Each structure stands twice: as C-alpha cells, then as structure tokens.
Amino acid sequence: MRAARFLGNERIEMVDAPVPVPAPGEVLMQVAYCGLCGSDRKPYRGGSVVTPGHEVAGTVVDANGCDVAEGTRAAAYLAVFCGECVYCRRGLTNLCRQRRGLLGWTLPWHGGYAEYMAVPAIDVLPIDDAVGFDAAVLLLDTIGTAWHGLRLAHADRAARALVIGCGPLGLGAVAGLVAFGGGEVFACDLVAERRQAAAELGATPVAPADIAALDDLEVVVEAVGSQPTMMQAIRSVAPGGRVVMLGEIWEPWLFEPSMETMLTDYSLIRSWYFPVSEFAENQRMLLAGKVSADRLISHVFPGEALDQAFRLFLSGQTRKVLVTG
Ligand SMILES: [Zn+2]
Ligand SMILES: [Zn+2]
C-alpha cells in the first residue's frame, strides 16, 4: 500500500509499505480521508518514525476478532486510552493517566497518511450512515477539540466571545459558538480569506488591530499557539471571563504583566482533544444541521498529492484540507 514517510525539513516521501497487520485488540481500517493538522508541522519539519496522520475516518475491513463489525464506518480516536483509570471511568478519555500512545504520533501506531492503518478497537468511533467520511474527520480535531474547550469555558452562556486565529481549529470554535447559540461571536485572523470563512460560519470578522475596541468578551479562544496571541487573548478577556487555550505552543511563552491583567479575575483554560463521551452529542448537532461541514473544508487532495496538500495548507490560506486514503 501507499504510505507517507516524513523525512524532516519539509520533505515527504511516498513509499510502498506492507498493509499493517493489526495486533490483538486492533482492527484494520481502510482510510477514506485523513485531515491535515497544524500540529503536523512538528513531524513535517522534524521528521517522524511513524507515518503521521491523526484525523482519520474510514471503514473497518478486518475486525481481527474484535467486537467491531466489519464494514463499520468510523472515525479513529487519537488517544489510546486504558478504559480503566479514574478519568476513563468518568468518561474523560482524553485525560487518561495510562495513555499508551497516540495514533499517528507514537510507535507502534502509524497514522492515516496511508491507505490502511491499524486502529485499537477502543478507538473506533462508529459514525451514523448519514455522516460522510469528510464530516467524520471534522468531528475529531476541528469540532471535537474546539467544542470541548468551549464546553469547559461554558461558552454557551457567553453573550460575547472572540476567537483569535481562524485556521481549522479556530473555525471549529466559531462554528461551535454559533451552534451553541451563546451570543455574539467575533473572529480575528491576519488572513482575509480566513476572516471571510469565519463570517460565513456566522461570526463578525475583525482585523487584528480592531480587537482592542471589543469589550465585554466573556470568552476568548486562542487558536493560534503563539506568544503575541496568547497575550492578546489575556488582555482582551472581560473581568471574570475565560480564556481557552487551544493553540499549541512548544516554546516557553512570556507573560507580560500590566495593571489590566493583574487587577482582575480571569480563568485560563488549557484544553486538549475531547472525551469520547462528547462524540455522540457533536455528531447529533452535525446531523441536526447546526454546523456546515462544507464550510469548514476547503480542499480535498488525492493521497499521493500529500506534499502538495501540505504546502498549500501551511501557506495559512485554507480551511480544513483533507487527503484521501
Ligand atoms: Zn489534529
Ligand atoms: Zn485511562
């Protein structure tokens, strides 16, 4: 089968690899679509021992003795959780304390930039017949991750909210704020096309220079993962408000104190991925038409054109970009 190797220095090679043999407790999934993710910048630049790709939907073609019907259409949950720890038992599988790994990130779990992948049965999230594989990919990081952060911040109660950064995750947050029916939603990005995408999803677009003029922002979502935007989020949130940190920063980041940021109350919420227990509700909202998958996806490439897809995606001008399996 075709599989991608990330060599580092922004080089991707397509290789002919054997179809994975699922281990006990795993099934074989034929990949329909895999979503490109901003977090894939890490293996794209630094290389990876596994085939990346962690936003995957497809069909179970070999149940391998697991309690999953062959032919099941499903999304693949990222975290290989234990199912037994105190967090898993509470349904908070994203917080599992005995996480064995992450699909497409850690050995032995190669990801979805390939035609097939082995998926632990516990990570198979069956989807409704009416949900397309493309929308199923969105139910993972774009919707799942963003909406979990919004739930932690009780964003449905916010009369005014701002999303900083309108890449796929930020757009997912915009779509969630609109779907939850909270209140007025503002969205900011440096790129006009991404502000336009946010507007199509129901937000009021704002240019970065105009953020300072917004007040009473009860929730501010940071979906960039940079030092300036983290500080901007903290400075923008109203007293008593919540900053949701969805972006990934891998460098130390500096907090610049000021009277405004000292003499106030606010909460800083770090949110990572989502519990399996939220998947059904997100899917229900998708099926109810509360969010448009078409507006969240801008490009679909064939799997062989992954390199081209990455160049376009990392130009920062797109919505969600998918490749086929
Ligand atoms: Zn992702
Ligand atoms: Zn656990």
Predicted confidence pLDDT, tens digits, the chain (325 residues): 999 999 999 999 999 999 999 999 999 999 999 999 999 999 999 999 999 999 999 999 999 999 999 999 999 999 999 999 999 999 999 999 999 999 999 999 999 999 999 999 999 999 999 999 999 999 999 999 999 999 999 999 999 999 999 999 999 999 999 999 879 999 999 999 999 999 999 999 999 999 999 999 999 999 999 999 999 999 999 999 999 999 998 889 899 999 989 999 999 999 999 999 999 999 999 999 999 999 999 999 999 999 999 999 999 889 999 999 9
d(CA 324, CA 111): 13
Q: What would the two tokens of residue 264 be?
A: 């106030």
Q: What is the CA(56)–ligand 1 centre distance, in A? A: 10
Ligand lying nearest the CA atom of residue 104: 1
Give the bridge partners for 60, in sequence order.
Answer: 29
pTM for this prediction: 0.96
Q: What is the CA(92)–ligand 2 centre distance, in A? A: 8
User: 39-52: buried (b, 16+ CB within 10 Å) or exposed (e) per residue?
Assistant: bbbbbbeeebebbb
Q: Spell out the residues 6+ positions from residue 259 whose beta carbon is closer than 8 angstroms to its own.
A: none
From the list 106, 95, 104, the residue with the least C-alpha distance to 56 is: 104
Q: What is the CA(273)–ligand 1 centre distance, in A? A: 9
Q: What is the CA(273)–ligand 2 centre distance, in A? A: 15
Ligand lying nearest the CA atom of residue 99: 2
Domains observed in the chain: 2-126+292-324 (3.90.180.10), 145-270 (3.40.50.720)
Question: Using alpha carbons only, what angle is made at residue 168 by residues 156 and 297, rounded to the nearest 5 degrees?
Answer: 110
